[in-house]
Amino acid sequence: MLVTKKQDDCLCCDAVILPFAGSTALSVELPKNLAEAVKAAVDQEKFSGECGSLYTMNLLGENGILSLVLIGLGDENASNREAYLAFCKALKYCKDQHCGKTVVYLDNAAARLENNPALVAKLCECPWLVSYDFTAYKSNPAAPAMEQVEFVTQLPDFQAQLDEAAVVAQCTLHSRDLVNHPSRFMTPAQLGVEAQKLAQEYGLDCKVFDKPQIEALGMDTFLAVGRGAVDEPRLVVLRYMGASADQETIGLVGKGIMFDSGGYSLKSKMATMHDDMGGAAAVIGAITALARRKVPVNVVAVVAACKNMISGDAYVPGDILRSMSGKTIEMLNADAEGRLTLADAITYAIREEKVDRVIDIATLTGAAKGAVGGRTAPILSNDDAFCGVMEQASKVSCEKVWRLNADKELRPVLNSAVADIKNSSPGNNYGGGTIVAGLFIQEFVEGKPWIHVDMAPVNWLGEDSSYCCKGATGYGVSLLYQTVKLLAK
């Protein structure tokens, strides 16, 4: 995918996208046939200009048939995400029509964009996000439906915004790839290889710990989860030190369950459970983007990667595990495994990497979708200011979050009669499964400022959308990147 700022007046393309800022006013100069077609569509009330409204028509262009796409981005009352989704819809139409080259007259929506650089940057990501298809296992993959997008614009600092968007989008697509690969290929060891490749290419420091090294660290809870699998676990650590040594270090901890069968608490459906490492893919993508953009901040990404499988040696409900922190855990649900691996990964980040604050991100609970719906990730935090930064980053990244109360009244359901804490509370009638899971993780943050992101509702799409084909969404890369970038200011 080639995305550029248009340098000439030639209109040799397959499609033209004309965005509108909450009205039907035409504010850029167009070739006569395009301007007349727009006027006719408006006069005949075929296009309203409202946010998300879409109208298409075919005209005769220099390359033959030209698709003209009118899309409403809304006025200042529409959110950035609404405008982003609308623009994706226009690009998706061009993709579906196999428009190899598309030109976007961005300045027609200048009234919406000139004072909103965050939205401009997000719209610049869209061509990459929309054009993506996962074809690694196709014997004869189809040629890319979209090959080039050119933006016609005089908006200030546009090239700089486009350059940043390219990095964030490309890292998001790499995250999608990591998740979309089946677990037969994307093993814990292979994830370590992928991290090392990125480190070598973009100047990150990378350490991949094998099973004996993990044992030496005392990460017995993490090891217990992976004990039933043939593929041995790996602890993947990426470091980017872009600020001085006296500045704080931010820890990004991603859940890395490369396949989740549920263990002896067996799942009934698991065809897509190779997606349970979406958190791992998100933190790898985010730290790579930060390094590529040379953001002045210190960041460590930690992934405890393993498979949760059944075997004669697998852990079973009723086992008591000893975590790296020293706390003992009564394991009552083998399918509540992500919080167990995160507990040890967070302890490692705090004690070994000396991080000053922690963000963990995980496909953690099925309850999350019921709590906030299928387009938002619930978050929990012990620090209002820190959480506020992520909420601001959410608006910039257009990746939605919804803060839940870390309700201490629910904490007693995790009390254990035989250990320090239990990982699940089968049969309790208090509900709040997403909150309870977050409360478990909070027990291991040692008082550090902390945010937990439960990305389970948004990590995977069961069908195509305007911004992503069926499969992994890459959620979290942009959100984490923008959060850390804001912290660096």
Active-site annotation, residues:
267, 339
In 451-469, which positions are buried (b, 16+ CB within 10 angstroms) versus exposed (e)?
bbbbbbbbbbbeeebbbbb
Cβ–Cβ < 8 Å for 81, 398: yes
Question: Which residues in 110-248 belong to E strands, given as ranges?
Answer: 148-152, 205-209, 234-241
- Which tokens go with 124? 């610049």
Q: Which run of H or of E encompasses 412?
A: none
Cβ–Cβ < 8 Å for 324, 414: no
- Which tokens go with 335? 């399918």
* DSSP-derived 3-state class of residue 13: coil
CB count within 10 Å of CB 364 equals: 29
- Helix 80-96 vs helix 384-397: crossing angle, to nearest 10: 30
Rounded to the nearest 5°, which phi and psi values hold at 120?
Answer: -60, -45
Q: What is the DSSP letter of 57?
A: E
- Can you say whether residue 299 is alpha, beta or left, with left for phi > 0 and alpha for psi between -120 and 50 degrees? beta
Q: Whole-angstrom Cα distance, residue 316 to residue 331?
A: 8
What is the SS3 string spanning 308-358? ECCCCCCCCCCCEEECCCCCEEECCCCCCCHHHHHHHHHHHHHHCCCCCEE
CA angle 373, 378, 380 (to 5 degrees): 160
- Can you say whether residue 231 is alpha, beta or left, with left for phi > 0 and alpha for psi between -120 and 50 degrees? beta
- Which tokens go with 15? 């499609």
Q: Whole-angstrom Cα distance, residue 55 to residue 376?
A: 28
Q: Which run of H or of E encompasses 360?
A: strand 357-362
